[in-house]
């Protein structure tokens, strides 16, 4: 461990990017691909098997059927990585072509294994979501049964275990993983990891640092937006060179039915792999009526259903009503056969959880009705059923836990970039991570959304191997499904440009391209000095009047502007767009704006005579409003391609 003086001396060295305390980062925890209008029948490129997706996560379970290498040839010639077999505990194949693990600080403890093998489950789940093979009849104990698959089933996987069960993800391990992934020759990096709270500077964040160097080397980095929503300014991994992914629902949700002895039926939310299938009723008891008095609990404390708070003699073989949300450990230990409880907050969860026993999370008023039934019935009875998947016609909408913008580091840069399925996702799992040795599991998080976009990016890369990370990112952003602020009042701060649409992104028409030079200008405009800049770039780049570029001129596919409420505003953005559609094409602009916002685009027509031709345009935003958020859009269309950019004007 460095002393403060040593850290200060080290940070002054020319070859050092920055010095900061190594912290622990968090993991951001299949119908989904079909829901994205990406069917199994979608055309795949022959080049897909040459695309390498690097996963920085908790490792992988190589024996999973999702990673079988039958029919795969040897790794691509560009691959320079290795496989750490770790005393024969781990074996790579022609699907998982490389695997490393990192634990540079402290000791490996508990259930963790000094190997790329995954004992947590998170990394296996993410890897199979991005690039898993098609596996028929996959399910979690019969739930979500169907074909599990990733976006690019023929792509290769390179695994970098930088996170550990109950030990998090050390900054030094994350940076080491980035370094090796870049050197090994991956095409896409997927990292469902981030800080628990937003960073203040991009270069005190290892993911921002590592991803900058990845993008500099032509590697797109897809990362999760974080799970601290729905509060504002909670989005993480918000650097402009990162593709930042929020989490949204698919059109399937899981319910757990509660039946009462009086015939009433309630539909709650849970992932129960067990429970009453035939509707058998059991005695119903309030937790407050079953305190474990010998351990010092009374009615007021037993109602929380904490471990040890319930009297087993009173709850054995019964369904327990908990008056506060919990994971069901207390009722399980006390021998209950089921639990009923209200949500964490006043609103029922928009994602399903697994509990320690069959349980159902119900609306507050529904729990109150069940309590009244229990209080007014001499022998109250109830059952909690096994979960079942039902259609959710409201999907997609951004889930409550998904972190929201605005961008806490750069206010005039819209984040997250887009959203993808991250709720109740079925994918491969590590049997070491579950008591039941589950091979496939259903979990939720922006961690699950991120690999959907990573797989989508790899899909685009397989058809367009020469495209830059920014071009692929632009294609995904400008072709996203438009979402509604009626379902998410935070609008673009919840879902960015919208819901990812990999099929449309394959042919975006136009792209907003950018490279290291553009990000250097952006950093200079953010106040970085030449000395600090050169520590990052490793070259002779300088922050001068020519390279000090305002955020409004970063060639980004979205537009954001911070204003003062009730005061006139005006800002001009400059963009350059590249033709990747038809060689001879004319694009006309169409803007949609609410009252209080005037949008002027010059020119209003862009004419292209060749592929890869570039055209520049100017966007001026002006107006005055008392609204906290104005949502608008700009679309370039040639009648075939619609290249859409969201525009957000908001008060800080």
Structure tokens at 17: 């990017």
**Annotated active-site residue in 32, 45, 50, 57:** 57
- The separation between the first and the last C-alpha atoms of the chain, rounded to the nearest angstrom, is 39
Q: Which helix (H) or strand (E) holds 178?
A: helix 171-184
Q: Does residue 600 contact residue 559 with C-beta atoms inside 8 Å?
A: no
Q: 628 to each of 308, 488, 510, 561, how far by Cα in Å?
A: 48, 15, 31, 12
Taken in order 439, 442, 448, 452, the sign of the CA dihedral is positive
Task: Give CA–CA dist 360/266, Å, rounded.
Answer: 9
Those residues with Cβ within 8 angstroms of residue 114's Cβ, 6 or more apart along the chain or in another chain? 86, 101, 103, 108
d(CA 549, CA 455): 33
Q: Which of 103, 122, 125, 641 is catalytic?
A: 122
C-alpha–C-alpha distance, residues 255 and 264, integer Å = 16
The residues near 260 (Cβ < 8 Å, ≥ 6 apart) are 266, 284, 370, 373, 380, 381, 382
DSSP string, 124-168: HHHHHHHHPPPEEEEEETTEEEEEE--S-TTSEEEEEE-EETTTE
Catalytic-residue membership of 447: yes
HEC string of 329-396? HHHHHCCCCEEEECCCCCCCCCCCCCCCCCEEECCHHHHHHHHHHHHHCCCCEEEEECCEEEECCCCC
- Which is the catalytic residue, given 288, 447, 456, 645? 447
- Among this protein's residues, is 387 annotated catalytic? no
User: CA 291 to CA 232: how far, in whole Å?
Assistant: 40
Tokens of 403: 């972190």
d(CA 516, CA 238): 17
Residue 57: active-site member: yes
The catalytic residues are: 57, 122, 447
């Amino acid at each position: 461990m460095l002393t403060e003086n040593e850290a200060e001396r080290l940070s002054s060295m020319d070859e050092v990017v920055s010095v900061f305390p190594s912290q622990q980062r968090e993991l951001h925890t299949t119908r989904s691909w079909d829901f994205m209008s990406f069917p199994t029948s979608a055309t795949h490129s022959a080049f897909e098997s040459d695309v390498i997706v690097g996963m920085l996560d908790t490792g992988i379970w190589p024996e999973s059927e999702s990673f079988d290498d039958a029919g795969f040839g040897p790794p691509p010639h560009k691959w320079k990585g290795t496989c750490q077999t770790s005393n024969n505990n781990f074996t790579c194949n022609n699907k998982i072509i490389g695997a490393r693990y990192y634990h540079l600080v402290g000791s490996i403890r508990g259930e963790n294994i000094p190997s790329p093998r995954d004992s947590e489950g998170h990394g296996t789940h993410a890897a199979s979501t991005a690039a898993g093979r098609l596996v028929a009849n996959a399910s979690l104990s019969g739930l979500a049964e169907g074909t599990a698959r990733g976006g690019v089933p023929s792509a290769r996987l390179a695994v970098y275990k930088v996170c550990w069960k109950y030990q998090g993800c050390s900054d030094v391990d994350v940076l080491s993983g980035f370094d090796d992934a870049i050197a090994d020759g991956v095409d896409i990096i997927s990292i469902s990891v981030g800080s628990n709270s937003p960073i203040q500077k991009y270069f005190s964040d290892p993911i921002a640092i590592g991803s900058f160097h990845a993008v500099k080397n032509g590697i797109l980095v897809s990362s999760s937006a974080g799970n601290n929503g729905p509060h504002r300014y909670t989005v993480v991994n918000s650097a402009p060179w990162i593709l930042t992914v929020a989490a949204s629902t698919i059109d399937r949700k899981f319910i757990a039915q509660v039946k009462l002895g009086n015939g009433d039926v309630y539909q709650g939310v849970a992932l129960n792999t067990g429970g009453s299938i035939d509707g058998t009723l059991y005695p119903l008891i309030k937790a407050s009526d079953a305190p474990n008095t010998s351990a010092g609990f009374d009615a007021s404390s037993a109602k929380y259903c904490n471990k040890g708070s319930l009297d087993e003699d009173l709850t054995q073989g019964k369904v327990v009503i908990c008056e506060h949300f919990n994971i069901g450990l207390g009722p399980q230990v006390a021998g209950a056969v089921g639990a009923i409880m209200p949500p964490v907050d006043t609103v029922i969860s928009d994602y399903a959880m697994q509990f320690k026993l069959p349980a159902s999370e119900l609306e507050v008023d529904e729990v109150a009705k069940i309590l009244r039934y229990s209080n007014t019935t001499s022998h109250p009875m109830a059952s909690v059923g096994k979960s079942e998947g039902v259609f959710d016609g409201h999907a997609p909408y951004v889930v409550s836990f998904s972190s929201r913008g605005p961008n806490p580091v750069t206010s005039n840069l819209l984040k997250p970039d887009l959203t993808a399925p991250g709720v109740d996702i079925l994918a491969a799992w590590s049997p070491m991570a579950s008591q039941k040795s589950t091979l496939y599991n259903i979990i939720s998080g922006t961690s699950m959304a991120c690999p959907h976009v990573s797989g989508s990016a790899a899909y685009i890369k397989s058809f367009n191997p020469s495209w830059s990370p920014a071009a692929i990112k632009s294609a995904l952003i400008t072709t996203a499904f438009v979402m509604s602020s009626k379902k998410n009042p935070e609008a673009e701060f919840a879902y960015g440009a919208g819901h990812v649409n990999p099929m449309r992104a394959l042919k975006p028409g136009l792209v907003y391209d950018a490279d290291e030079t553009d990000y250097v200008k952006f950093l200079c405009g953010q106040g970085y000095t030449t000395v600090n800049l050169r520590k990052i770039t490793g070259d002779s780049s300088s922050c001068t009047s020519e390279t000090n570029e305002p955020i409004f001129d970063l060639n980004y596919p979205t537009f954001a502007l911070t204003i003062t409420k009730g005061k006139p505003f005006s800002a001009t953005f400059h963009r350059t767009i590249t033709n990747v559609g038809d060689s001879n094409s004319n694009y006309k602009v169409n803007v949609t704006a609410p009252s209080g916002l005037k949008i002027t685009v010059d020119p209003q027509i862009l004419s292209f005579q060749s592929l890869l031709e570039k055209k520049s345009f100017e966007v001026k935003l002006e107006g005055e409003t008392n609204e906290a958020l104005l949502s608008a859009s700009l679309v370039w269309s040639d009648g075939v391609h619609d290249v859409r950019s969201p525009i957000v004007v908001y008060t800080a």
